[in-house]
């Protein structure tokens, strides 16, 4: 027995405390407690994991529903934008046709007018030449300094001269030739020529009268021709002006339609981009949801299997402890085996995936001047003096004096400009009304554009916020999973070390027991015959408790194989957990990359729209400023240009009183300054 105890002590690495069997029992009890704790912890963690699965499925399904609704709306928006663009394109084509038609009508009108004017110039030249010829013929007929034949022949050749006039001229020219011929012959006292001369004079006077009437007729016809030319020219200018107006109106509408078409095309392009992003997000959520459903289902199956396995393991451990705590094992162990130091370690190999202003100093002299100006402003009902009083009370002294001097100069300049103000008002009021109407329409359009951009930016900001929150949740999940992975890895490492230690302890116990029983089986006892009368002693050799050793060794071998299985399962669990962690981090990285891309796209889109909004606000501010300036200018025009019940003399008197009040205030300030 002493030799067995020494052998067991040497093999078990004496450290004092408990025997190897008690060590095994303690390890089994620790395993049972730890297994029960880990089973409950695993159930608790799986419940959290199941809750994560349920919550995430609900969230993803809601996201998918919202995404499908958004896709339908975006598709409808795209179709509407394309339809609007097509309708606008048809209107643009119609406007192009109208402009071309108006331009063709304008060209035809100009060509016709040029043709009419060319015909007019010919007729006018013909009338002018005819009148000149008639004037020369009348002058020749009256002077009779030269024969009228050439002048009358020229008149007779004109196409515009009636045939009866031509016949009269021909008849006159025939008589004229006879008279000339008779006058050229020598005087014959017996010749009777006086009647012929009288006939010539009479006929010459008739021809002159006829030519004068014809000249007057041609002049009247030329005047009518000139009048008709002026009327035709005016009518042509009115037609061209009307066509130009229609061309300008159509061109302006064409510009608006082209801008509207470009906007609708841009809307369609942006909606297509949003549709692509939303579809990609929806598809990624669908893939993630399918993968999550598969993983959650697999985890549920694995959980049930692990719970069943842990239950069976706990039952096996309980049975082993029951056997090892029996008197045949523990009693002999307390009797023959050395004590060891108890070491108890807790292990864990459960994997959990994480779900996811001071006022200015006012001098007394300024306060006195301000009070004076305030009282004068109340007396005169002068807004200028009231504003100056406020400035005097608030602004620095030097600035106040300069302001009053500048205001006096400005009022005096206004007084010098009052004389010709009325003729200027009509033009300014007309121009101001056109400006107000135009700028009002521009402000309304820019306001609508600003509101639309603001709504888009708000929507993008919310999407950016949601994506940033999702990315932060992914990062938190990865961080928590990494933390859990490190803890789990350390736990698995400790479990493997504990299993190796237990296997070593059991192997040592088995080695000691086997060596002992092998040696005990080889022991030899010589049989001796008892002496006569001597008491009976041993009758068989002692071979130890061979009948009980088989159960002890077998149980210890089972315990050894259980620790080996624990080590293998822990290493396998570590590998599976590592792979699951790698898959989780890869999937999270992919999901984060998709959401980061979407976040970047929306941030760029928001930046662009913010730039557009800034430009629109600038344009709106500038346009509103121009409108406000026009309205302010109109308000300034109304007291002097619109009948406001204040006459010119009253305005002059009131301005003079304001100037005197300002000069008095300046004297007050100067007096205080000298004091």
Q: Which of 111-125, 161-175, 215-229 has the lowest mean pLDDT?
A: 161-175
Q: Which tokens sit at 633?
A: 């200018």
Residue-level length of the chain: 675
Question: In the chain, what percentage of residues exceed pLDDT 90?
Answer: 22
Question: pLDDT at position 86, please?
Answer: 93
Q: Tell which phi-psi region holds residue 533, choosing left (phi > 0), alpha (psi between -120 and 50) or beta.
A: left
302 or 252: which carries more pLDDT confidence?
252
CA 20 vs CA 120, 334, 342: distances in Å: 139, 9, 10
Band the pLDDT of 110: cuts 50, 70, 90. Answer: very high
Domain spans, the chain? 91-185+193-269, 364-449+607-674
pTM given for the model: 0.36
Q: Identify the top-confidence range among 164-178, 248-262, 285-299, 620-634.
A: 248-262
Q: Greater confidence, 104 or 436?
A: 104
Burial string for 560-577 (b: 16+ CB within 10 Å, else e) reads: bebbeebbebbbebbeeb
| CA pair distance 110, 235, nearest whole angstrom | 11
Residue 292 pLDDT level (bands cut at 50, 70, 90): confident
Three-class secondary structure of residue 134 per DSSP: helix
What confidence tier does 23 reach under pLDDT thresholds 50, 70, 90? low
End-to-end alpha-carbon separation of the chain, Å?
Answer: 129
Maximal CA-CA distance, the chain: 242
Does 606 score more than 80 pLDDT? Answer: yes
Section 29-37 average pLDDT: 78
- pLDDT value for 202: 45
Give the separation between CA 573 and CA 396, rounded to whole angstroms: 83
Kindly report, residue by residue over 364-380, the tens digit of the pLDDT.
Answer: 666 677 777 778 777 77
The DSSP letter of residue 400 is H
> In 3D, which of 277, 311, 624 has the Cα closest to residue 459?
277
Query: Per-residue confidence at 144, pLDDT binned at 50, 70, 90?
Result: low
> In whole angstroms, what is the distance from residue 308 CA to residue 35 CA?
12
With both helix axes pointing from N to C terminus, report the angle between 397-417 and 364-380 in degrees, rounded to the nearest 10: 30
Of residues 442 and 361, more confidence is placed in 442
Residues 236-274 as b or e (16 or more Cβ within 10 Å = b): beebeeebeebbeebeebbeebeebbebbbebbebbbeb
pLDDT of residue 566: 82
How many Å apart are CA 650 and CA 639, to the nearest integer?
12
The CA distance from 29 to 319, in Å, is: 11
Q: State pLDDT tens for residues 181-224.
A: 443 444 443 333 334 444 444 456 677 888 888 888 888 988 99
Burial code (b: 16+ CB inside 10 Å, e: under 16) for 336-346 equals bbbbbeeeeee
**Is the pLDDT assigned to residue 641 strictly greater than 80?**
no
* The pLDDT value given to residue 7: 42
> What is the rounded average pLDDT of the residues 398-426?
72
pLDDT of res. 78: 94
Q: Are 245 and 106 in contact (CB under 8 A)?
A: no
Task: Report residue 343's pLDDT band, with 50, 70 and 90 as the boundaries.
Answer: very low
Q: Which of 143-152, 177-186, 338-347, 609-618 has the highest mean pLDDT?
A: 609-618
CA distances from 368 to 55, 90, 362, 392, 394 (A): 75, 72, 10, 9, 13
The pLDDT of residue 112 is: 93
**Helix 149-157 vs helix 20-143: angle between axes, to the nearest 10 degrees?**
140
Give the highest mean pLDDT range of 55-59, 152-156, 360-364, 563-567: 55-59
Residues 365/392, Cβ–Cβ less than 8 Å: no
């Amino acid at each position: 027995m002493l030799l067995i105890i020494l052998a067991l002590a040497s093999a078990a690495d004496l450290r004092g405390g408990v025997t190897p069997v008690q060590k095994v029992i303690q390890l089994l009890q620790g395993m049972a407690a730890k297994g029960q704790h880990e089973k409950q912890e695993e159930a608790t963690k799986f419940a959290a994991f199941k809750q994560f699965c349920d919550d995430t499925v609900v969230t993803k399904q809601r996201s998918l529903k919202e995404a499908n609704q958004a896709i339908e709306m975006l598709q409808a928006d795209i179709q509407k934008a394309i339809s609007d663009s097509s309708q606008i394109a048809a209107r643009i084509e119609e406007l192009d046709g109208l402009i071309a038609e108006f331009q063709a009508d304008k060209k035809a009108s100009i060509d016709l007018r040029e043709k009419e004017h060319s015909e007019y110039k010919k007729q006018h030249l013909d009338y002018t030449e005819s009148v000149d010829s008639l004037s020369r013929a009348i002058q020749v007929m009256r002077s009779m300094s030269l024969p009228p034949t050439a002048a009358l022949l020229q008149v007779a050749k004109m196409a515009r001269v009636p045939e009866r006039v031509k016949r009269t001229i021909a008849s006159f020219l025939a008589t004229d030739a006879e008279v000339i011929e008779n006058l050229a012959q020598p005087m014959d006292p017996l010749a009777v020529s006086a009647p012929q001369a009288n006939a010539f004079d009479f006929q010459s006077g008739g021809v002159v009268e006829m030519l004068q009437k014809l000249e007057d007729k041609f002049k009247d016809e030329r005047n009518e021709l000139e009048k008709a030319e002026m009327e035709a020219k005016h009518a042509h200018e009115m037609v061209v002006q009307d066509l130009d107006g229609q061309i300008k109106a159509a061109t302006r509408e064409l510009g608006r339609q082209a801008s509207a078409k470009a906007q609708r095309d841009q809307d369609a392009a942006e909606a297509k981009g949003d549709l692509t992003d939303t579809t990609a997000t929806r598809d990624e959520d669908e893939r993630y949801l399918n993968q999550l459903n598969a993983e959650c289902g697999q985890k549920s199956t694995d959980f049930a299997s692990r719970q069943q396995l842990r239950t069976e393991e706990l039952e096996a451990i309980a049975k082993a402890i029951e056997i090892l705590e029996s008197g045949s094992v523990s009693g002999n162990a307390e009797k023959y085996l050395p004590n060891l130091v108890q070491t108890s370690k807790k292990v864990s190999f459960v994997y959990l995936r994480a779900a996811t202003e001071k006022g200015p100093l006012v001098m007394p002299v300024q306060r006195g001047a301000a009070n004076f100006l305030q009282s004068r402003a109340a007396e005169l009902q002068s807004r200028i003096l009231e504003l100056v009083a406020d400035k005097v009370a608030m602004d620095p002294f030097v600035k106040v004096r300069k302001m009053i001097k500048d205001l006096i100069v400005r009022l005096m300049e206004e007084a010098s400009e009052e004389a010709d103000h009325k003729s200027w008002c009509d033009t300014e009021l007309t121009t101001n009304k056109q400006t107000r109407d135009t700028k009002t329409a521009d402000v309304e359009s820019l306001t609508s554009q600003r509101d639309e951009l603001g709504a888009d930016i708000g929507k993008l900001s919310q999407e950016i916020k949601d994506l940033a929150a999702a990315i932060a949740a992914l990062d938190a999940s990865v961080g928590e999973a990494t933390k859990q992975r490190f803890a789990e890895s350390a736990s698995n490492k400790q479990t493997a070390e504990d299993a190796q230690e237990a296997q070593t302890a059991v192997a040592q116990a088995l080695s000691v027991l086997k060596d002992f029983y092998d040696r005990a089986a080889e022991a030899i006892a010589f049989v001796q015959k008892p002496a006569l009368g001597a008491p009976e002693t041993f009758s068989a050799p002692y071979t130890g408790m061979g009948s009980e050793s088989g159960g002890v060794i077998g149980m210890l071998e089972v315990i050894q194989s259980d620790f080996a299985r624990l080590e293998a399962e822990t290493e396998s669990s570590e590998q599976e957990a590592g792979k699951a962690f790698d898959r989780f981090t890869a999937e999270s990285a992919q999901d984060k990359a998709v959401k980061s891309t979407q976040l970047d796209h929306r941030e760029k889109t928001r930046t662009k729209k913010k730039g557009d909004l800034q430009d629109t606000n600038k344009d709106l501010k500038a346009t509103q400023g121009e409108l406000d300036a026009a309205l302010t200018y109109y308000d300034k025009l109304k007291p002097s240009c619109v009948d406001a019940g204040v006459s010119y003399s009253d305005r002059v008197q009131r301005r003079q009183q304001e100037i005197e009040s300002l000069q008095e205030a300046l004297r007050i300030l100067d007096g205080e300054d000298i004091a």
